[in-house]
Amino acid sequence: MMATDQNNQEARQSLLAPLFADDVALAATDPAVDQPSPLPEELNGLSPRAVEKRRREFAAGRAVARAAMAQLDHSPAPILVGKDRAPVWPKGLIGSITHCKTCAMAAVSTSDRYAGLGLDVEEDTPLKSELWDAICSKREQDWMRAHHNPAQMGKLIFSAKEAAYKCQYNVSRRYFGFEGMELEFDMANHSFRAEFTADQVPFVQGTSLFGRFAIGAGLIITAVSLSTNWQEV
């Protein structure tokens, strides 16, 4: 690995590390770097017509997921693709996989500690203005416009909603659009709150998920976790 690649890897890891508690294992890599081949069972989740870019991203995602699993002393088991296209984690584990053009990341922990994990990585590029209404509520857009870089904040909102959606999907198995959650950010503490705007059983309207974010190294990274005792908190 070239020195520049190593530096990029370390920068990504340093951004990712503070976003979860210490009992969540984390790993990151560059999809452009050659990765171990996915396990044979996993290839059923990859279309035979998949282009090289998609194959690299899939391999990188499974590679970082297994790297995170190894940190938990878990053997390298397959991570299958469910009928809903979501990863099917080995028994006793829960996690989240994400990738963009330049980065693949995974977060993994044990299912006795977490009901859901959500991780998203995006390139730090502006959210196109024609997408604002589809992704951001009026209140969110007002907040964006008060910032010196509204389009970047739009991308942050997009990423945070993706992470929150992934986290809640582990519990609800329900699909909904970007309007299903509204966000509030604490920029000083690199944190955010995602509030359900309607019931999504077992979540009720007004329930909030809490997450963290990082911006750097050309990336926007967002993370949300939900403990198994979330209904008691």
Q: Is 155 annotated as a binding residue?
A: no
Q: Is 190 annotated as a binding residue?
A: no
Tens-digit pLDDT profile for residues 150-177: 999 999 999 999 999 999 999 999 999 9
3-state secondary structure of 9: helix
Q: Which residue intervals of the chain bear CATH 3.90.470.20? A: 122-227
pLDDT computed for residue 221 by the predictor: 98
Tens-digit pLDDT profile for residues 94-126: 999 999 999 999 999 999 999 999 999 999 999
What is the Rg, in whole angstroms, of the alpha carbon atoms belonging to the chain?
Answer: 17
Token pair 């964006």 in the structure block, residue: 144
Q: Is 54 annotated as a binding residue?
A: yes
* Joined tokens for residue 104: 């693949």
Q: Is 145 annotated as a binding residue?
A: no
Residues 122-227: name the CATH superfamily. 4'-phosphopantetheinyl transferase domain (3.90.470.20)
Picking from 109, 196, 114, 185, the residue whose alpha carbon sits closest to that of residue 147 is 185
Q: Is 195 annotated as a binding residue?
A: no
Q: Is 203 exposed, middle or buried (0-12, 13-18, 19+ CB in 10 A)?
A: buried
Distance CA 121, CA 200 (A): 25
pLDDT computed for residue 155 by the predictor: 99
3-state secondary structure of 137: coil
Q: How many CB atoms lie within 10 A of CB 194?
A: 26
pLDDT computed for residue 1 by the predictor: 47
185, containing H or E segment: strand 181-186
Residues 6+ apart with CB under 8 A from 100: 121, 122, 123, 219
pLDDT computed for residue 134 by the predictor: 98
Q: Is 140 annotated as a binding residue?
A: no
Q: Is 23 annotated as a binding residue?
A: no
pTM score > 0.75 for this model? yes
Among 3.30.70, 1.10.3470, 3.40.50, 3.90.470, what is the CATH number of 1-119?
3.90.470
Distance CA 58, CA 150 (A): 32
* pLDDT by position in tens, the chain (length 233): 445 556 777 888 899 999 999 999 999 999 988 888 898 898 887 888 889 888 999 999 999 999 999 999 998 899 999 989 899 999 999 999 999 999 999 999 999 999 999 999 999 999 999 999 999 999 999 999 999 999 999 999 999 999 999 999 999 999 999 999 999 999 999 999 999 999 999 999 999 999 999 999 999 999 999 999 998 76
